[in-house]
Amino acid sequence: MSNLGNKAIMAKNIQYYMDLNKKSRNDICKALGVKYTTFTDWVKGNSYPRIDKIELMANYFGIEKSDLVEDRKKLPDGAFPYIPSQTTQIPLIGSINCGVPLFAESNIEEYIETPIEDMTHGDTYFWLRAMGDSMINVGIHKGDLLLIRQQNDVNSGDIAVVCVDNESATLKKVIKKDNAIILQPENSAYEPQIYVGKEIEHINIQGRLMQARKNF
């Protein structure tokens, strides 16, 4: 039986080249001008793309159309199969306003494919884009993507998204002392922020930093 027109094989091959090139569904939809729902149907094997769309994807990945159409089960000598991680879509929130719900639709820029193995089942996650240079000593630079686990408390020494007095959220290392909390930047050009006694009540922790993705 011919593999041409096999939706399952097409779906598997599209996902393979997405993982290989570290591309999300949003990346490809924007580049090719394809609707997100249409592309999702291809990836899930619900529908089969037209030949012109197959050619667009092949050109995008720098491969032959046959690489998307044909079964890739047979591997060259010495090669081993690549098994991609299962992923889910996590929202990228460009900025956080403490006075509005964190996941308000207006705050979500896009969704990022995120490996399920990087997250704990049952917890809520979101991505942020790093701004400024206050955390450069721990390798976080402007434009990096930050995976945050939503929680209202962290351990001393954790890096967290923190909001103070309903102002813009900031990313800092949280240091807990007796009756005091220090928001510690990782850049000597910035002074730590120290809150003592009742001042601690003004601190609202939004979540803990779990992962950073570099942008080059």
Give the model confidence (pLDDT) of 40-94 as tens digits.
Answer: 999 998 999 999 999 999 999 999 888 898 886 655 566 555 555 678 889 998 7
Q: Which residues pair with 88 in a beta bridge?
A: 114
The whole-number pLDDT of residue 1 equals: 36
Q: Which of 23, 156, 168, 172 is catalytic?
A: 172
- 3-class secondary structure, 10: helix
pLDDT above 80 (res 167) = no
**Cβ neighbours, 10 Å, residue 59:** 11
Domains of the chain: 7-69 (1.10.260.40), 90-213 (2.10.109.10)
Active site residue 85: no
| C-alpha 50: how far from chain center | 30
- Euclidean distance between CA atoms 192 and 211, whole angstroms: 23
Active site residue 66: no
Q: Which of 65, 73, 106, 134 is catalytic?
A: 134
Which pLDDT band holds residue 101 (cuts at 50, 70, 90)? very low
pLDDT tens digits, 186-203? 999 999 999 999 999 989
Which pLDDT band holds residue 164 (cuts at 50, 70, 90)? confident
